[in-house]
Structure 1
Amino acid sequence: MKNIKYILMPFLSLFLLTACQDDDGEIGDIIAPGNITMSYEIVGADANNPNGDGTGLVKFTSTADNVITFRYDFGDGTDVVVAPSGNVTHQFSLTGLNTYSVTVMASGIGGITTTSSMNIDVFSSFEDQEAKDFLTGGSGNSKIWYWAADKPGNIGLGPNDVQPGGEHTWSQWFTSNAWHSDKLCMYDAEFVFTQSADGKVTFEQLTDIAYTPGDYAASIGVAGDTCHGTDVAPTLDGVKNVSFSPSNSNATVDGEYRGTTINFSDGGFMCWYVGISSIEIIEITENTLFVRMLDASNPALAWYCKYQTDNPND
């Protein structure tokens, strides 16, 4: 197989070079998107609330000529979002009235990109200071968290979709034992949440451990139900910005969860690697954290994770 690859690559390169040099422009034309426009609608904006109703939700629409897809950088530290249609809704979660520089990138044939940016003022009234303080220990402090490895149910799996019996808010399909035998590799993971004096929260995982369950592992072509490092999960490393937004899933409403979602920037996650950087808080105290998240490879799956401030390895 390697020999075939090495034989084909020069041929492909020659073809591309010939196509790009074709005077007639019939094959391989590289065209930059033109006439790019971006507009937005702040949810709930009116004469009395010109910057929105406090939800922080903004609907964006972009158009361009000769475009294949659009990407959005919302200027708030969250991940870049791909939106092939140009339509996307984003929730800005920084409390108060804030100005964001939003950039849309229109990609055309050959990968040529045209960008357009604008500043928008958005008001968000959502706040969960108690959750922030529980996670961090309060303003100007940091707190270390660990897996609740010594507790049953430190990992669970259930349906995201409502089942015939109504179940979709708990780990109906699987609930782990304490020190579950096939998850021992992940129980050394450590997580730090820090809150600055001005209330901004950051997160860092101190150990390069990414436990990757079977379905998601299969979707990215790696061994499943085991731990990997940054070679498989490169977003493990680094300090991530943390924002909080209202949870709006059916599970949060029907299960009467706390109603707060933790969002990590730059692909951050808490060891359980399923391609998701937002987790719904079910319960949180000074010493315990119970969350729910979906699986990027199969949104019908909902994972449940338990963490604590007591180091179970002591």
Structure 2
Amino acid sequence: MKTNIKYILGLFIIALIFSSCNEEEYTLGDLSAPANVVINTEVVGVNAAHPNGDGSGNVKISVTGDNALSYKIDYDANTPMDLVYLPTGKTTKKYTSVGINTYRITVIAFGKGGTSTNLTKDITVRSDFTVVPEIVTALTNNASKTWVVDKSVAGHIGVGPWNIASIRPEWWAGGVNEKVASANCFYTATFTFATVAVSGTFSLKVATPDGAFTKTGSLTTLPGIPGSGDEGCYSYGGGTSVFSFIPASSGAPKVPTNKDNSTSTQTSILLSGANTFIGYGAVQKEYEILVITPTYLFLRVQGTETGNAWYLKLKPAL
């Protein structure tokens, strides 16, 4: 009996060994990158008389590709690369540089296992814009007018998401005199907006007697700022540049989407060059005018960190 038990046990062990040697094979399947990726564009208002569109600057964009699971898009190769998700493969982009301009769109189509395919396409778009005269008068007094950050009001600096669903500093809003102790240059810098009657253009002169309030390294465009360091005041001699009024690229409505949101004038101040700023020395140079009166200027600018918006409240200098 013992012999039979040992014999049976031996057969079981042998069977177990053989079964453990028969490993299952797994495959990841086809990991080919997306193919036949196409960027389709429709410049709104194109016809025989208007080959570059109706002047709205709106372009309908759709992307398709075989085996593509998702897409990212950069709308303009002339600016720093800023790839944003395009979940449905469709969007409408508003280009705001005044006149007829050519933009290079870059799309990355992602497939299984992280595979990807890149594609670019050039489009030429016309954008027309005439600023409301009341905005020019309030900002420049039709000659020259100097503004400063208004430290006497709460929320004169703040941060929130960069989108049109929340046009307010919902993440953080500074209190009265928020930066006096840590970065008083934020309040002593002056910003003089002027009309240049001879050329019909506009200029901005920035004076920074106590330095510029900014970040460092790649987080600012201001020349001479250190390559690393904390946000704060840095020695800067100021600068002068031209600026233009453009339709706000955010697409924010004039009427707020909910009771907590600010309005928008749908107009932005676009600074030229890299040596001027308003309030905060950001990388982006488009400052959207949310509210403007002769005594109050409420701006927001796309933050250096992707997805952030900085809010600024200014008043005329004494």
Instruction: State whether TM-score is above 0.5.
Output: yes
User: Greater share of helix residues, 1 or 2?
Assistant: 1
Task: Decide whether aligned partners of structure 1 residues 145 and 91 sit closer, same or farther in structure 2, where only a CA change above 3 A counts.
Answer: same
Q: Aligned partners of 1:82, 1:130: CA distance in 2, in Å?
A: 33
Q: Which runs of 5+ in 2 are unaligned?
A: 1-40, 61-75, 84-92, 105-123
1:1-42 deviation digits (Å, cap 9, x = unpaired):
xxxxxxxxxxxxxxxxxxxxxxxxxxxxxxxxxxxxxxx986
> Residue 130 of structure 1 aligns to which amino acid in structure 2?
E
SS at the partner of 1:187?
A: helix
1:98-127 deviation digits (Å, cap 9, x = unpaired):
677x799xxxxxxxxxxxxxxx89461443
Q: Which runs of 5+ in 1 are unaligned?
A: 1-39, 60-71, 74-79, 105-119
The residue aligned with 2:296 is: 288
Task: Decide whether aligned partners of structure 1 residues 307 and 55 sit closer, same or farther in structure 2, where only a CA change above 3 A counts.
Answer: same
Does 2:195 correspond to 1:188? no
SS at the partner of 1:144?
A: strand
Q: Aligned partners of 1:146, 1:216: CA distance in 2, in Å?
A: 25
- TM-score of the two chains, using structure 2 as the length reference: 0.57
Number of aligned positions between the proteins: 224
The residue aligned with 2:281 is: 273
Q: Aligned partners of 1:226, 1:306: CA distance in 2, in Å?
A: 18
Deviation at 1:92, TM superposition (A): 2.8
1:113-166 deviation digits (Å, cap 9, x = unpaired):
xxxxxxx8946144322212211111xx1111111122222111122358xxx6
> Residue 304 of structure 1 aligns to which amino acid in structure 2?
Y
1:258 to 243, 261, 265: 265
The residue aligned with 2:161 is: 159
Q: Aligned partners of 1:287, 1:171: CA distance in 2, in Å?
A: 21
SS at the partner of 2:135?
A: helix
The residue aligned with 1:4 is: none
Map 1:74-223; keep pairs closer than 5 Å.
Answer: 81=79, 90-93=95-98, 122=126, 124-138=128-142, 141-160=143-162, 168-180=166-178, 181-197=181-197, 199-207=200-208, 209-212=211-214, 221-223=227-229
* Contact 2:149 2:315 (8 Å CA) reproduced: yes
Q: Aligned partners of 2:82, 2:231: CA distance in 1, in Å?
A: 33
* Contact 2:219 2:283 (8 Å CA) reproduced: no
1:221-261 deviation digits (Å, cap 9, x = unpaired):
4222311134xxx9x52323333223434587634311111
SS at the partner of 1:54?
A: coil
Task: Decide whether aligned partners of structure 1 residues 292 and 251 sit closer, same or farther in structure 2, where only a CA change above 3 A counts.
Answer: farther
Q: Aligned partners of 1:82, 1:213: CA distance in 2, in Å?
A: 17
SS at the partner of 1:130?
A: helix
Q: Aligned partners of 2:103, 2:133: CA distance in 1, in Å?
A: 30
Query: Higher Cα Rg: structure 1 or 2?
Result: 2
* Contact 1:218 1:224 (8 Å CA) reproduced: no
- TM-score of the two chains, using structure 1 as the length reference: 0.58
Q: Aligned partners of 1:259, 1:84: CA distance in 2, in Å?
A: 22
SS at the partner of 2:137?
A: helix
1:248 to 244, 247, 250: 250
1:62-102 deviation digits (Å, cap 9, x = unpaired):
xxxxxxxxxx99xxxxxx535799xx985332xxxx677x7
Task: Decide whether aligned partners of structure 1 residues 157 and 103 sit closer, same or farther in structure 2, where only a CA change above 3 A counts.
Answer: closer
* Contact 1:240 1:264 (8 Å CA) reproduced: yes
> Residue 46 of structure 2 aligns to which amino acid in structure 1?
A
